[in-house]
Amino acid sequence: MDNLKTAVLLLQDGRFFNGKIFGSEGETIGEVCFNTGMSGYQEILTDPSYCRQIVTMTSPHIGNTGVNPDDIESNRIQVAGFVIKEETIIPSNWRSTQSIGDYLKEQKIVGIQGVDTRAITRHIRNHGAMNGIISTIDSDLESLKKKLSQAPNMTGFDLAKEVTCQNQYSWSSINQSTNQSINFKVAALDYGIKYNILRLLERNGCEVTVFPAQTSARKILDFNPDGVFLSNGPGDPAAVSYGIKTVKEILGKKPIFGICLGHQILALALGAKTFKLKFGHRGINHPVKNLETGQVEITSQNHGFAVDLDSLPANVEPTHMNLNDNTSAGIRCDELKAFSVQYHPESSPGPHDSRYLFQQFINMMEYAQKN
């Protein structure tokens, strides 16, 4: 690492970290956050929910298993930048096709290594998530501060329109699947959807058509699906006004299942409010209590906003709670046939404790078909 070019990470409040280049040369700006997962870095890199974010990995060694073309959650790397303690230059895994450093270079993603990721994480936990800039071409802090001052904050930022698909498409045709028994027709609104959500819906007997985030309720209803899925995604849910409007107009007409940003958009459409968390929840070991069964699920999470539980209307009940900070992790509105969770039951990466939620969606569609 001593021979590598220097790099610097400057945070919005003036704290900076000197390190070495990791990935591509250049400069990048985004909201700095941290992920506590010890594995799954490739899925994290390609998760659209990380759009415009600089991700700090708390695990000290990143790249042990290399990179492969299968463990991706979208068609490209989505993070704005990547921060690690130390890169594993020579990966050791039979599925690996290249190192993580080469992967970042190939997709022109700027990163930094050789920094104290524990200190960065503690700083964000104490002071909250904030914008930052990584540069390998400019080491002048005053110059970097000026560039950083022009960057927008995440609050009020609609990023769903940046990561959504441009045209509707059938997941089955993209995925070239032929062996699944199809029982349900699902319309998925793409606010930044992950591939493994689509895989699991299909595995549960759903023929999934993915629609752009700005699709109208009329178009979805004319498509006449058995159910509507609201995907994960980046940014401030309150800024996705078109998505909230669409969901309001679909409520009660079709069964709805939402994940993460989809959960927040559903809550807003039902009349609740959302707020920005101090530093967000990102990792694969977050405990969530199922309020109906009393069981605790270990979950995969990635979000910076949450639903205000005190703002839930009378006809909406909380179903899950995050045990780290008692924030909303799930809601349900029986009379309007809608439910959602603030975590990732598709668990890519992460534990499989919550995959029953896909069956819950299936059951809801099956009941709607019969009634």
Count helices and strands in the chain by DSSP H and E runs: 11, 19
**CATH class of segment(s) 6-149:** alpha beta
pLDDT at 4 (0 to 100): 81
Find out whether 290 and 343 touch, Cβ atoms under 8 Å: no
Find out whether 68 and 94 touch, Cβ atoms under 8 Å: no
* Every domain range in the chain assigned CATH 3.50.30.20: 6-149
Find out whether 10 and 129 touch, Cβ atoms under 8 Å: no
* Every domain range in the chain assigned CATH 3.40.50.880: 160-370
b/e for 232-265, b at 16 or more Cβ within 10 A?
Answer: bbbbbbbbbeebbebbbebbeebbbbbbbbbbbb
Pick among 3.40.50.720, 3.90.226.10, 3.30.1180.20, 3.40.50.880: CATH of 160-370: 3.40.50.880
Find out whether 330 and 263 touch, Cβ atoms under 8 Å: yes
Find out whether 255 and 368 touch, Cβ atoms under 8 Å: yes
For residue 281, indicate whether it is catalytic: no
Q: Which of 260, 263, 281, 297 is the catalytic position?
A: 260
For residue 260, indicate whether it is catalytic: yes
User: Which backbone phi and psi does 211 adopt, to 5 degrees?
Assistant: -115, 145
Angle, vertex CA 223, rays to CA 221 and CA 227, nearest 5: 70
Cα–Cα distances in Å, from 277 out to 44, 84, 127, 326? Answer: 20, 23, 12, 12
Alpha-carbon distance of 48 to 193, in angstroms, equals 7
Give the position of tokens 């040369």: 25
For residue 346, indicate whether it is catalytic: yes
In terms of Cα–Cα distance, which of 96, 95, 101 is closest to 23? Answer: 101
pLDDT at 2 (0 to 100): 65
3-state secondary structure of 31: strand
Tens digits of pLDDT across the chain (371 residues)? 667 899 999 999 999 999 999 999 999 999 999 999 989 999 999 999 999 999 999 999 999 999 999 999 999 999 999 999 999 999 999 999 999 999 999 999 999 999 999 999 999 999 999 999 999 999 999 999 999 999 999 999 999 999 999 999 999 756 655 556 889 999 999 999 999 999 999 999 999 999 999 999 999 999 999 999 999 999 999 999 999 999 999 999 999 999 999 999 999 999 999 999 999 999 999 999 999 999 999 999 999 999 999 999 999 999 999 999 999 999 999 999 999 999 999 998 999 999 999 999 999 999 998 88
In terms of Cα–Cα distance, which of 77, 245, 243 is closest to 158? Answer: 243
Alpha-carbon distance of 315 to 332, in angstroms, equals 9
Alpha-carbon distance of 103 to 99, in angstroms, equals 6
pLDDT at 175 (0 to 100): 62
